[in-house]
Structure 1
Amino acid sequence: MAVKWIAQDFGGLDVFTEVEADDLPPGRGEVTIEIRAAGMNPADYKHVASGSDRSLLPVQVGYEIAGVIRGIGPDTTIASGGGAVGDEVLAFRVAGGYASELTVPAADVFAKPASLGFPEAANLLLAGSTAAEMLDVTRVTAGDTILLHGASGAVGVSVLQQAALLGATVIGTASEKSFEVVRRFGGHPVAYGDGLEQRVRDAAPNGVVAALDAVGTDEAVDVSLALVDDRQRIVTIAAPGRAEADGFRAIAGARPQSAAFRNGVRARLIDLAGSGRLVVPIARTWPLDEAREALEFLMDQHPGGKLALIP
């Protein structure tokens, strides 16, 4: 019998509950994965905290996993080709990843590179595909200098690495204690807070051509609007209200256009990570049965890297 975490209601951490799950064989087009690591993301608790549509309850928690194929449906091939019991894989854009095993669509399952650990593999694609879309919609290319708000967070660290691969220069906002993280991944750190606009101007005397916001503060938005003339080259993942009011881009994984892009970029990101060109820093792992404690740690907003649950 498998176990999994669900949110039985909308609200705080007290609504998250560990329950037993049915152990059903995979059907055609499905793969059952014995989970070795479940990735953790702020969306795991934010969707529960802000939800209101009770028809969605109970909420299946967790969007990305890595593990070993335990079963595969008849005439079924995983997204990267092939697929057999015992193969190491990762899966993204799934529902219910906080579990000991999970049956998912084969189209969301990819071979895990041998060079990539299970916790790293389970934390690669949500942050990585979000970062890739931010760079894509703002048309970042070689020679560009861009501004990144929240450069030391999970999405920010992936943006830094992917921007470097494109040949772009990144001015990244962060707290001073996180400056070394920004530098490690190729960015030029500046402290957020009063005077941010001038500090960015000093760091980029020729200006910035795009701004990517991963924090959603009014400061981040106001500075972006002050520094970037073309509002189509400003994007946020955390301030959709400001984006609508001020006429710049907001993206989110639940939007069809974002979902299509993020699905399409998965294989490329896996290849980058497998070859060592895209690193997923892991701060800490937790046993699966301590998911509530791990979520509390994640909610602190400064975990220092990605977190994973280990069944």
Structure 2
Amino acid sequence: MSEQTMQAVVYDEFGGPEQLVLREVAAPTPGPGEVRIRVKRAGVNPVDWKVLGGGLRGLIPHVLPIVPGWDVAGVVDALGPDVPELAVGDEVLSYARKDWVQQGTFAELVTVRVVDVARKPEGLSWDAAGALPLAGLTAERVLDAAGVSLGSTVLVHGASGGVGTLAVQLARLRGARVIGTASLSGHDRLRALGAEPVAYGDGLVDAVRALAPEGVDAVVDLVGGVMQQTLAVLAEGGRHASIADHAAGEHGGRWVWVRPDGPRLETLAQRVADGELDVEIAGSFPLADVAGAFAQSMSGTTRGKLVIHVAD
């Protein structure tokens, strides 16, 4: 690879995983207040294939061709002007979403605003560093929006996924009691994390009411399509928030669109390194097989996070 080009996964039109190709493209140059990261790992999130399908075109500008991916862990490769906070060679991670969709993290190099970058602590694996940013920050923001704190009883819809397992752990660290929805195959995992599992389906409301007869103080929706159940189990004065249902605000709740936050991500990364949080890695794929990672994520059967292994 020359200094001016890099390998990246790209798509030229919206569609499915078959649109993804690995090819040589121009390497980005960091601007003022930016760093360039040589990518080691990039996390896969459902939003990546939703963007590929055109699902966010009304929410954020898109510029084709697009390099997908918003999670990154790697080594600072170059600095833009006025970046005293970091140095070339620093190990970092970031939720690298920009204000438009074009230059993502499924590539050998990516530029990121320095304020969105966290230092990677010792003891944090590269896989966990690549998988943590979007899921961890999303879990924190949605718990904040639902008012989850010491003594709360919270219901987490979709508790066994990548964001869900982190939301369960973070809620428990805040001193909350957690009830989590998951398919039966995920119940043992939720119990191990300190949550009380309930199954999806028609019996969900009765199951939650049996555990919390007065209703729950907060509901965190990570899946969408569950507003009726949310309102049915919410105690009077309770709060609810969703990352998947834009209509949450119409029903007294909050819709959360997570934003990059370098300092908060650095705190989360340290908690993982210290063993307070566990980032479950469900699988690893090479850069040449991002399509395979998307297909697995789209199957809806993944427990934990998928990562793209770009470099050692």
**Residues 166-220 of structure 1, C-alpha deviation per residue, up to 9 Å, x if partnerless?**
1000010111111011112111101111211111111223431111111112xx3
Secondary structure of 1:123's counterpart equals helix
Do the aligned partners of residues 52 and 252 (structure 1) sit closer, same or farther apart at CA in structure 2, a change above 3 Å counting? closer
Aligned to 2:78: 71
Secondary structure of 2:186's counterpart equals helix
Q: Note if contact 2:93-2:119 (Cα within 8 Å) is conserved in structure 1.
A: yes
**Residues 78-101 of structure 1, C-alpha deviation per residue, up to 9 Å, x if partnerless?**
xxx4x2222211121334100112
Q: Note if contact 1:231-1:247 (Cα within 8 Å) is conserved in structure 2.
A: no
- After superposing the two structures, state which structure 1 stretch, 171-180 or 265-274, moved more: 265-274
Secondary structure of 1:198's counterpart equals helix
Please report how far the alpha carbon of residue 228 of structure 1 lies from its aligned counterpart in structure 2 after TM superposition.
1.2
Do the aligned partners of residues 20 and 230 (structure 1) sit closer, same or farther apart at CA in structure 2, a change above 3 Å counting? farther
Letter of the 1:69 partner, please give it. V
- After superposing the two structures, state which structure 1 stretch, 15-24 or 139-148, moved more: 15-24
**Residues 25-44 of structure 1, C-alpha deviation per residue, up to 9 Å, x if partnerless?**
54442222111101110000
Equivalent runs, 1:118-157 vs 2, <5 Å: 118-157=126-165
1:42 aligns with 2:46: yes
Aligned to 2:100: none
Secondary structure of 2:271's counterpart equals helix
1:87 aligns with 2:87: no
Do the aligned partners of residues 29 and 211 (structure 1) sit closer, same or farther apart at CA in structure 2, a change above 3 Å counting? same
Please report how far the alpha carbon of residue 103 of structure 1 lies from its aligned counterpart in structure 2 after TM superposition.
2.5
- Structure 1 distance, partners of 2:215, 2:237, is 15
1:31 to 13, 35, 38: 35
1:233 to 215, 220, 239: 239
Aligned to 1:222: 228
- Structure 2 distance, partners of 1:37, 1:21, is 19
Secondary structure of 2:159's counterpart equals coil
TM-score by length of 2: 0.88
1:4 to 8, 14, 36: 8
1:267 aligns with 2:266: yes
Count of residue pairs brought into register by the alignment: 298
- Structure 2 distance, partners of 1:209, 1:20, is 51
Q: Which has the higher contact order (CA 8 A, sep 6+)?
A: 2
Q: Note if contact 1:64-1:93 (Cα within 8 Å) is conserved in structure 2.
A: yes
Please report how far the alpha carbon of residue 60 of structure 1 lies from its aligned counterpart in structure 2 after TM superposition.
2.9
Secondary structure of 2:283's counterpart equals strand
Do the aligned partners of residues 125 and 24 (structure 1) sit closer, same or farther apart at CA in structure 2, a change above 3 Å counting? closer
Aligned to 1:296: 295
Secondary structure of 1:56's counterpart equals strand
Q: Note if contact 2:214-2:235 (Cα within 8 Å) is conserved in structure 1.
A: no
Q: Note if contact 1:36-1:67 (Cα within 8 Å) is conserved in structure 2.
A: yes
Aligned to 2:68: 61
Equivalent runs, 1:87-126 vs 2, <5 Å: 87-94=90-97, 95-126=103-134
Secondary structure of 1:57's counterpart equals strand
- Structure 1 distance, partners of 2:231, 2:114, is 42
Q: Which has the higher strand share?
A: 2
Secondary structure of 2:131's counterpart equals coil
Q: Note if contact 1:147-1:210 (Cα within 8 Å) is conserved in structure 2.
A: yes
Q: Which has the higher helix share?
A: 1
RMSD between superposed Cα atoms in Å: 2.1
- Structure 2 distance, partners of 1:197, 1:131, is 23
Structure 2 runs not aligned, ≥5 long = 98-102
Please report how far the alpha carbon of residue 283 of structure 1 lies from its aligned counterpart in structure 2 after TM superposition.
1.0
- Structure 2 distance, partners of 1:244, 1:166, is 25
- Structure 2 distance, partners of 1:89, 1:51, is 28
Please report how far the alpha carbon of residue 294 of structure 1 lies from its aligned counterpart in structure 2 after TM superposition.
1.1
Please report how far the alpha carbon of residue 24 of structure 1 lies from its aligned counterpart in structure 2 after TM superposition.
5.2
Secondary structure of 2:210's counterpart equals helix
1:246 aligns with 2:251: yes
- Structure 1 distance, partners of 2:96, 2:299, is 24
Q: Note if contact 2:145-2:256 (Cα within 8 Å) is conserved in structure 1.
A: no
Secondary structure of 1:181's counterpart equals helix
Secondary structure of 2:149's counterpart equals coil
Secondary structure of 2:105's counterpart equals coil
- Structure 1 distance, partners of 2:72, 2:62, is 25
